[in-house]
Structure 1
């Protein structure tokens, strides 16, 4: 993933609300969200090169999502970041313990942020800063730096999500949530970060929804977990910026 907005613990109906975009090279093979044949407890899309994933949930309510850390000067690392999400979803270890073990291997992976937990607890870890955070109730966002770094897409998306949830304390509209991450407006130059990719690329990567000739937003996901454990998972797939199809799943968390 390259952008994750989420509400945790404050909404009267939904304990967790996630709205996220996955940005990737268009020709990297992947499967849309499904329950995996080899790991039938996992609901997630799947990267077919390394067989990991960027965002998913298990039938027992374990949730994980990952973004890359943008810094072209960082060296390549031997292990795929997508295995981090996969491993958390298939294991039963406590989120804090999982991160402690992950931190011991932080240099095996390229730069990343990962959110792990369930409806009762969420944790964040960034391997570049070796930064572990317990996530407190509220609206949060992570793109390609660290949790709640005020990049334009983070600030704008968080504000829209806060306002929408404040104005809709009851049931939420999934289409309205998707609109938060469909924003294609390029941020003003004076608001752009300097991540080492050059000004033109910073502009191109500044919208929530990215559309470049060979790279961009491949899918968007809305995940809802209500306070009695009902899960709604909706994924929209795009091809070169154009909508292709939607997949929806609903189930109740198994204790």
Structure 2
């Protein structure tokens, strides 16, 4: 049950115009690869299935409108796009194919997303969003390294958020045996749990820090941290 928190602060004159912290949950036995720059396109850093937007010329809202025309053909998904441009302005857009709504442009602010629609107030999401908000409020006082560390610590919070009727209802037989564990931000069961923490920072000048902490082997006691830094063409 993946979870994402992000702050969108376009053209911020101080510190960061975008901060993201996310957990990816998977079965430990499922093959996976850590994020890296693609061999056939060194401008793309990704470990996820968002290739079309990253390789096309369309702006975020146009791309999401194209996706929404076929949204009914797929199981539930959420897609968020972000573009940073000093001339046209920073934009973020969102589409959830189970929302019954058209893609929309997001206002500046702090958002949370889990296995439902954007900002669905599950107890787990509300709790995590508070922790995220408290952390990013310190961004001007913390070094880049310290902010990344604090966000990763936040993502690894194991406090159970019960009761969790919305999560239980969505997963039913699959969720019920491990409902308690899944109610935490950091999920750990014998066979399923959080396998990746991701933190992305985009500062006022367009400098990006991408940090990923990934479970190895798979073994919940062995982790690898990778970090990438680069400049956006804005």
TM-score (norm 2): 0.86
Contact 1:16/1:226, CA 8 A, preserved across alignment: yes
- Equivalent residues in 2 for 1:120-131, closer than 5 Å: 120-131=90-101
The partner residue of 1:195 within 170, 175, 178 is 170
Distance 1:23 1:39 in 2: 27
The C-alpha deviation readout for 1:32-65, integer Å capped at 9, x for no partner, is: 11101022211012xxxxxxx1xxxxxxxxxxxx
SS of residue in 2 equivalent to 1:195: helix
**Which stretch of the first structure deviates more once superposed, 98-107 or 3-12?**
3-12
The partner residue of 1:94 within 59, 73, 98 is 59
Distance 2:62 2:18 in 1: 21
State the partner residue of 1:164: 135
Matched, 1:231 2:208: yes
Q: In the superposition, relative to structure 1, how do residues 109 and 39 fare at CA in structure 2: closer, same or farther (>3 Å)?
A: farther
State the partner residue of 2:155: 181
Q: In the superposition, relative to structure 1, how do residues 191 and 169 fare at CA in structure 2: closer, same or farther (>3 Å)?
A: farther
State the partner residue of 2:76: 111
How much is the aligned-residue C-alpha RMSD, in angstroms? 1.9
Contact 2:15/2:139, CA 8 A, preserved across alignment: no
Contact 1:33/1:43, CA 8 A, preserved across alignment: yes
Q: Which runs of 5+ in 2 are unaligned?
A: 85-89
User: What is the CA-CA distance between 1:240 and the residue it aligns to?
Assistant: 4.1
Contact 2:19/2:202, CA 8 A, preserved across alignment: yes
User: What is the CA-CA distance between 1:245 and the residue it aligns to?
Assistant: 0.7
User: What is the CA-CA distance between 1:192 and the residue it aligns to?
Assistant: 5.0
Distance 2:95 2:132 in 1: 23
Distance 2:71 2:34 in 1: 28
Distance 1:196 1:252 in 2: 41
The C-alpha deviation readout for 1:150-189, integer Å capped at 9, x for no partner, is: 1122111111121222244344521101111101122122
Aligned length: 218
User: What is the CA-CA distance between 1:89 and the residue it aligns to?
Assistant: 1.2
Contact 1:99/1:125, CA 8 A, preserved across alignment: yes
- Runs of 4+ in structure 1 over 4 Å off: none
Matched, 1:155 2:126: yes
Distance 1:123 1:163 in 2: 24
Distance 1:202 1:180 in 2: 20
State the partner residue of 1:15: 17
SS of residue in 1 equivalent to 2:33: strand
The C-alpha deviation readout for 1:188-218, integer Å capped at 9, x for no partner, is: 2266542142544332321111112222111
SS of residue in 2 equivalent to 1:30: coil
Distance 2:73 2:44 in 1: 24
